[in-house]
Amino acid sequence: MTDKTILVAGTYDTKNEELGYLAGVIREQGGDVLSMDVSVLGDPSEPADISKHDVAEAGGSSIQEAIDSGDENTAMQIMARGAAAKALELFRAGRIDGVIVLGGTMGTDLALDLCAALPVGVPKYVVSTVSFSPLMPPERIAADVQMILWAGGLYGLNSICKASLSQAAGAVLGAARAVEPPKRKRPLIGMTSFGKTVLRYMVTLKPALEERGFEVAVFHATGMGGRAFESLAAEGAFAAVFDFAPQEVANHIFGGLSAGADRMTNAGRAGIPQLVAPGCYDLVDFVGWQDTPRQLQGRPTHAHNRLLTSAVLEPEERRQVARAMCEKLSGSVGPVALLLPEGGCNEWDRPGADLHDAAGLAEFCGEIKASCPQNASLHVTPAHINDPEFSALALSIFDRWLADGTVGRK
């Protein structure tokens, strides 16, 4: 008997040999395979378990409509919608335990939609000629997707690409066997932060919230971490959020490490109670091993490590970030508490620190007070965001929400 079933998806009309090799490795390791054909024009040498017609229909269209479009991009988007819908349907029916998708740029475009449709905890593997490429925007990458470069495999099998394909096949089957999906035994709180050198509140808040009966997941807000946070918020996974490091909003505005245009919106749309603070609002992160982007040149910077450097925003840019954050919160349908630590919003901006800018901080705080939306309660404190007083304020608000039922314990 086989133990786990893996969905193997790709264009079986042009990559039948490579997809067949993937399936063979999975079966040799004791797994089972369900094949999904996402091609448009051609037909596989043998019928797939999920045909291209099944896929197109799952997306509310047909293969003929895809062909009649006369455009490969339009056609592949039809198939991407169908593949995503069909994969989710198969998972919910208990027919698959993981998925692996193979492709070049066209197949990868589809793979991103397919993987994003599946919940966190479902093993997702993408074998792509453009793995890890900046072609892929962060907002389209599933929170727990895995990738491997399909080296030397654009056309036909060879010993180089077999090394990648066999690893991928073993990895997705192994993941399906080993994964411990989220059990949600306790209500989950989502928190955003950075490492303790710049933001420290999670050291106090995480154990305090756990003592109150909650599970706490802290997301590293450097682009992909914020993306994972937003995707889970959109699913309604959180009982409440402590979004204290929404710096990716500034990153998106000024060309830094973006988490997508919808950063700082999905919890509000889902009605999840939000505690929000502007941790690191004054910084824009960029790739440290590249030249400073033109729009960020001529200002103080902090090299966090060889991967990541942060540039400091100017006063008017800080006001722009304040307005953007408040605008995002104005669309919330659930309760919002906006905490404003006037003593500073990251460890590097304390008095005497390299990035301290009292005037810039004052400009930001003034704009927050002027722009705070009516649906949010503003809580101003003279404390720094890393001071115990800030964490105490956050806990006092959360405890009131617990007491009045704003945040549930189930």
Average pLDDT over residues 161-176: 95
Q: What is the predicted pLDDT for the residue at 286?
A: 86
Query: For residue 102, is pLDDT > 80?
Result: yes
**Same structural domain for residues 108 and 146?**
yes
- CATH code of residue 347: 3.40.50.12030
Indicate whether 410 belongs to any domain: no
DSSP alpha helix (H) spans, 133-276? 159-178, 201-211, 224-234, 248-254, 266-269
Count Cβ atoms below 10 Å from residue 45 Cβ, excluding itself.
10
Backbone angles phi, psi at 192, to 5 degrees: -105, 145
Q: Is residue 409 part of a domain?
A: no
Residues 299 and 155 in one domain: no
Token pair recorded at residue 118: 């599946």
* pLDDT tens for each residue of 320-360: 999 999 999 999 999 999 999 999 999 999 988 888 999 99
Helix axes 315-329, 358-371, angle to 10 degrees: 30
Mean pLDDT of 387-396: 98
In this prediction, residue 402 carries a pLDDT of 96
Helix (H) and strand (E) counts in the chain: 13, 14
CATH of residue 150's domain is 3.40.50.12020
- Whether the predicted pLDDT of 1 surpasses 60: no
Rounded Cα gap, residues 220 and 266, in angstroms:
17
Full domain range(s) for residue 350: 188-404
Examine the domain organization and report whether 344 and 301 are in the same domain. yes
Is pLDDT at 311 greater than 50 in this prediction? yes
Same structural domain for residues 211 and 152?
no
Calculate mean pLDDT across residues 48-76.
93
Q: Are 325 and 264 in contact (CB under 8 A)?
A: yes
Instruction: Say what the pLDDT of residue 2 is.
Output: 59
Q: Which of 156, 178, 200 is the last residue of a domain?
A: 178
- Tallying the residues shown for the chain, one arrives at 410
Residue 183 lies in a domain: no
| Local structure of residue 347 (DSSP, 8 states) | G
Rounded Cα distance, 67 and 93, in Å? 30
pLDDT for the residue numbered 70: 87
Confidence of residue 64 (pLDDT cuts 50, 70, 90): very high
| Triad 119, 125, 129: Cα angle to 5° | 135
Q: Which of 178, 213, 248 is the last residue of a domain?
A: 178
Structure tokens at 348: 């590097």
Q: Please indicate, yes or no, if residue 297 is contained in any of the structural domains.
A: yes
Using one digit for the tens of pLDDT, what is the confidence trace for 174-187? 999 999 877 778 99
166, 193: one domain: no
- For residue 110, the model assigns a pLDDT of 96
Residues 19-52 have pLDDT tens digits of: 999 999 999 999 999 999 999 988 888 899 999 9
| pLDDT, mean of residues 87-102 | 97
Ramachandran quadrant class, 298 (left: phi over 0; alpha: psi -120 to 50; beta: rest) = left
Tokens of 176: 């399906």
Question: Which pLDDT score, from 0 to 100, does residue 298 have?
Answer: 85
Average pLDDT, the chain: 93
Neighbours of 131 (CB within 10 A): 16
Overall domain count for the chain: 2
Q: Are residues 208 and 330 in the same domain?
A: yes
Check whether residue 275 and residue 197 sit in a common domain. Answer: yes
Q: 80: which 2 tokens?
A: 């991407």
Q: What is the pTM of this model?
A: 0.83
The one-character DSSP state at 214 is -
What is the bridge-based pairing of β-strands 301-303 and 308-312?
antiparallel
